[in-house]
Amino acid sequence: MRIIPDNYYNNDSEMAKTFNPHQFLNRLDPQLAATYYQEQEELQLTFEVDPTWSKKQAGEANIEFFLSLSDEQREIAESDFRIVNELKTHAGADMIFQKAGRLDIELPENFENYSLQDKALWFYLRHPEEFISTTDEYELHDGSGWDEVYIDNKPGNNLEDKGPALSRSRHIWHRTLI
pLDDT in tens, 4-20: 444 444 433 444 447 89
pLDDT at 8: 44
Continuous H helices in 69-163? 71-85, 90-102, 116-126, 128-142
With b for 16 or more beta-carbon neighbours within 10 A and e for fewer, the 115-152 pattern comes to ebbbbbbbbbbbbeebbbebbebbbeebebbeeeeeee
Q: Please state the pTM of the whole predicted model.
A: 0.68
pLDDT digits (tens, 9 = 90+) for 83-140: 899 888 888 888 888 888 999 999 899 988 999 899 999 999 999 988 888 888 877 7
What does the alpha-carbon distance between residue 71 and residue 83 come to, in Å, rounded to a whole number?
18
d(CA 102, CA 46): 34
Give the single-character DSSP code of 92: H
Element housing 178 (H / E): none
Please tell me the predicted confidence (pLDDT) of residue 178: 39
Does residue 67 register a pLDDT over 90? yes
